[in-house]
Amino acid sequence: MGINFHNSQNKARYQVRIEPYSRRFKQPLQTHHGLWRDRQGIWIQLCPMAASEAGECGWGEIAPLPEFGSENLTEALHFCQSLRGEISPEEINSIPDDLPACQFGFESALMDLHPLENPPHLMNICGLLPTGKAALDPKLPIWNQGYATLKWKIAVTEISQELALFQDLLWMLPEGVKLRLDANGGLTEAEAHQWLQACEHQPVEFLEQPLGRSEFEAMLALSHEYETPLALDESIATWQQFLQVYHRGWPSIMVIKPAIFGFPSRLIEFCHAHPVDIVLSSVFETAIARKMLFRLATTLPNLDRALGLGTDRWFEDGGMGEWGNGGMGEWGDTGRWRRGDAGTRGHGEMETRGRGDAGTRGDGDAKK
Ligand SMILES: [Mg+2]
């Protein structure tokens, strides 16, 4: 259950509008899970139905990733349609745990109705290199975009080739830049040893998910044997798995993908109560969900590691969905969210109802 930060006496109901989206990767993304060509999800908008609350609408995004244990798009759509266009905060808090992307999307939209008091400042963001040899092209823009942390996917080709490429990559790495290696659970135990030996004394921030999600004990042993930290990702894709791993004493880093992790409020509450070393990571969502990630990044305590959000350049539309940057809004110079004109461009269900509009392009209204 999420936290009912909304006044429990409040019988508020919200009109729900949904807009499924599909975004094409500029080039399919190769991971150990296979080739990924399109990213699909659902934008949602909640608008207060009571006249006394008329005004702002809240935005959220459902970006499922069934390979990581979340619901799939069809299940999420089915849930949205079952609402018949209305929802209350209590019903949002009751969204079941087998719909974590819906929990995230709807609670994000509810939280979006409440302005952020402490706006985020510039974040430390981790860029994502292309997989394999393509990363070694010095003309890639990513090499000159000022990233202090870069991620590279491994376990996609034969290990001796990859280890040779890794040496070349280390040669190219600018002074002070760190690498994150992500195996997506694709290494054998023997290969994980080879990689961790190759990482010794190198600027590698961590090796992410070397082994499959069922091989927790082996990863725990590896984490004690080498100096390079390990991070778990696939092993803690759901809230229940995360709790299990935490209570089994995982001593190292945990990668959280908030968009598929369920209620944001639950994560905030947990991190305030327990010391955890976490990395927040993207699931190739659009700016709507990203806004919530930034909000989480400013709310969670001791979040020192670069955010895994450097994913915009992977999309034809620059990461903002078909409505474009202005449509989704952006963090303004004041550090506050500036609404774009997504609500006024005539996109059917997401169109606003003529009050509490979603802002207009360039109005500079920092209030959401
Ligand atoms: Mg990962």
**pLDDT-derived band of residue 316, with 50, 70 and 90 as boundaries?**
low
| Residue of 299 and 191 predicted with greater confidence | 191
Ligand 1 centroid – CA 249 distance (Å)? 20
Burial class (CB in 10 A: 0-12, 13-18, 19+), 266: middle
CATH number for the domain harbouring residue 74:
3.30.390.10
Q: Which residue has the tokens 């880093």?
A: 253
Residues 179, 144 within the same domain: yes
Does 208 count as an annotated binding residue? yes
**Calculated CA dihedral for residues 219, 225, 227, 233, nearest 10 degrees:** 0
* Distance separating the N- and C-terminal Cα atoms of the chain: 26
pLDDT of residue 333: 33
Sign of the Cα torsion 52, 54, 56, 57 reads positive
Residue 68 lies in a domain: yes
Q: How far apart are CA 204 and CA 264, in angstroms?
A: 29
Average model confidence (pLDDT) across the chain: 81
Ligand 1 centroid – CA 257 distance (Å)? 9
pLDDT of residue 193: 98
Residue 209 lies in a domain: yes
Residues 104, 151 within the same domain: no
Residues 159, 262 within the same domain: yes
Contact between 314 and 285 under an 8 Å Cβ cutoff? The reply is: no
Question: What H or E segment, with its residue span, contains residue 79?
Answer: helix 73-82
Residues 139, 109 within the same domain: no
Residues above pLDDT 90, as percent of the chain = 59
Token duo for residue 188: 């054998």
Does 304 count as an annotated binding residue? no
Residue 47 lies in a domain: yes
Ligand 1 centroid – CA 64 distance (Å)? 15
pLDDT digits (tens, 9 = 90+) for 78-118: 999 999 999 999 999 999 999 999 999 999 999 999 877 66
Helices (H) and strands (E) in the chain, counts: 10, 14
**pLDDT-derived band of residue 323, with 50, 70 and 90 as boundaries?**
very low
Residues 131, 244 within the same domain: yes
| Range in 200-209, 256-265, 315-324, 325-334 the model is least confident about | 325-334
CATH number for the domain harbouring residue 281:
3.20.20.120
**pLDDT-derived band of residue 342, with 50, 70 and 90 as boundaries?**
very low
The per-residue b/e assignment along 299-313, b for 16 or more CB within 10 angstroms, e otherwise, is bbeebebbbbbbbbe
Residue 350 has pLDDT above 70, yes or no: no
pTM, to two decimals: 0.77
Residues 145, 282 within the same domain: yes
Residue 2 has pLDDT above 60, yes or no: no
pLDDT of residue 321: 41
Contact between 220 and 235 under an 8 Å Cβ cutoff? The reply is: no
Q: Which of 151, 178, 257, 291 is catalytic?
A: 257
Q: Is 26 a catalytic residue?
A: no
Section 328-335 average pLDDT: 35
| Range in 18-27, 30-39, 132-141, 318-327 the model is least confident about | 318-327
pLDDT digits (tens, 9 = 90+) for 160-187: 999 999 999 999 999 999 999 999 999 9
pLDDT of residue 27: 74
Residues 172, 283 within the same domain: yes
Number of domains the chain contains: 2
pLDDT digits (tens, 9 = 90+) for 195-230: 999 999 999 999 999 999 999 999 999 999 999 999
Ligand 1 centroid – CA 32 distance (Å)? 10
pLDDT of residue 311: 59
Ligand 1 centroid – CA 194 distance (Å)? 19
pLDDT of residue 51: 66
Q: Which of 153, 178, 291, 368 is catalytic?
A: 153
Residues 100, 157 within the same domain: no
Domain limits for position 299:
125-314
Residue 320 lies in a domain: no
Residue 32 has pLDDT above 70, yes or no: no
pLDDT of residue 367: 30
Residues 153, 286 within the same domain: yes
Residues 32, 99 within the same domain: yes
Provide the residue count of the chain.
368
Residue 321 lies in a domain: no
pLDDT digits (tens, 9 = 90+) for 244-288: 999 999 999 999 999 999 999 999 999 999 989 999 998 888 889
**pLDDT-derived band of residue 348, with 50, 70 and 90 as boundaries?**
very low
Residue 364 has pLDDT above 60, yes or no: no
Residue 351 has pLDDT above 90, yes or no: no
Residues 104, 139 within the same domain: no
φ, ψ dihedrals at 142, nearest 5°: -60, -25
Does 233 count as an annotated binding residue? yes
Residue 327 lies in a domain: no
Residue 330 lies in a domain: no
Residues 98, 149 within the same domain: no
pLDDT of residue 361: 27
Residue 90 lies in a domain: yes
φ, ψ dihedrals at 102, nearest 5°: -70, -40
Type of residue at 192: A
Residues above pLDDT 70, as percent of the chain = 77
Ligand 1 centroid – CA 8 distance (Å)? 37
